[in-house]
Amino acid sequence: MDNTLIENALKTVKYPGFSRDIVSFGLIKGIENDAGRVRVKIAISTNDVQVPALIKREVEETVRAVPGVTAVDVLIAVSRPQTQPPPGQQAQVENMRDVRYCIAVASGKGGVGKSTVTANLAVAIDRVLRQRGNTRGVGVMDCDIYGPSIPLMLGVNVQPEVTGDMLEPVENLGIKVMSMGLLVDDNTPIVWRGPMIMKTIQQFAMNVNWGVLEILVIDLPPGTGDAQLSLAQTVPLDGALIITTPQTAAVNVARRGARMFEKVNVPLLGVVENMSYLQTPDGKKQYLFGKGGGELTARDLDTALLAHIPIDQEIREGGDHGIPIVIGNPKSPASEAFITLAEKVIAALEAKCE
């Protein structure tokens, strides 16, 4: 009997609470088949004792139903997620050994300015750290493979070098960058399926020579829980930021994204409300997209609202030209909002990891 039948059957077993199956999550470490006596080896990273038990039971039932199978033995190796070791010394992924903190920037949906916030936050954090004499550096990992806009926003457009099987991040504005956008041609349509997203994110996490960094900021794909889960299983995340817009309608979506981090024990650092208002030349604020979405999201998620980022033409232009406003016009109110956000993020990480 062919192992493909067993593997196909395993593809119907979903990770508890997720729409994704255990094969595409990469949990299956081996299938042995001795004339119908099947042994499935699984490795899983979780703190939830119910998850391995549920998976074990469902794998047993599913494989037993495959024609030709006479006995099923399921071996599950359970490890604690890498978010559990003492914060600040977490990195167990070899290439992230010298990365002190790793944070994710997420949003429930696209177009809310997640990449814009990531790019500006990264340069703002770098600036604040340097002012404090900390030159360990900042990196950005762009996992938003549907629309990898970080290279454009940080002015990076060369193909990364490869050393052995490791990718070298590309550096600009003092920030180390790795993005799918650097690896595919502009004209290549990116049609990603779930399993490819996870493989890519895992590959990114494991195969980039990040070297020494104080903070690695990860731009996640919008929405879904699978990417977050996959990432949290691979990278030792110290926290997550949720980006939303002021429309209260956006809150539900943001909330769904945030719940995913709870499932994998990644603490929320807070909420950032982007496109909060437009300041007119007479100093008045116009709330083009309504008001209160950030506050509502933060309250709902029991976390802090860390920033209101205004709508500013210079933010958009800075993004399009690869010079984030924090560098292009550091004294503008928007830049000041990003700098304050950076200070709060650093403080939250340091407090959490004391």
* Length in residues, the chain: 354
Q: Which of residues 131-150 bind ligand ADP (CB under 6 A)?
A: 147, 149
Task: Judge contact between 125 and 345, C-beta under 8 A.
Answer: yes
Segment near ligand ADP (CB under 6 A), from 14-22, 92-100, 249-257, 307-315?
307-315
- Residue whose CB is less far from ligand ADP, 226 or 312: 312
116 binds ligand ADP, rule: CB under 6 A:
yes
Of these, 251, 298, 315, 349, which contacts ligand ADP (CB under 6 A)? 315
309 binds ligand ADP, rule: CB under 6 A:
yes
CB of 293 to ligand ADP, least distance (A): 14
Task: Judge contact between 344 and 215, C-beta under 8 A.
Answer: no
CB of 278 to ligand ADP, least distance (A): 8
> In a 10 Å sphere around its CB, with 0-12 CB exposed, 13-18 middle and 19+ buried, how is residue 345 labelled?
buried
For residue 117, give the nearest of 242, 260, 262, 298 by alpha carbon: 242
Segment near ligand ADP (CB under 6 A), from 35-43, 183-191, 233-241, 305-313?
305-313
> CA 118, CA 142: separation in Å to the nearest integer?
9
- Residue whose CB is less far from ligand ADP, 218 or 309: 309
Binding mask 58-97 toward ligand ADP (x if CB under 6 A, else -) reads ----------------------------------------
Work out the angle between the directed axes of helices 114-131 and 333-352 (0-180°, nearest 10).
70
For residue 59, give the nearest of 26, 28, 25 by alpha carbon: 28
Of these, 16, 26, 110, 292, which contacts ligand ADP (CB under 6 A)? 110
- Residue whose CB is less far from ligand ADP, 275 or 342: 275
> CA 181, CA 150: separation in Å to the nearest integer?
8
Of these, 68, 85, 111, 333, which contacts ligand ADP (CB under 6 A)? 111
Binding site residues, ligand ADP, CB under 6 A: 107, 110-116, 147, 149, 274-275, 309, 311-312, 315-316, 319
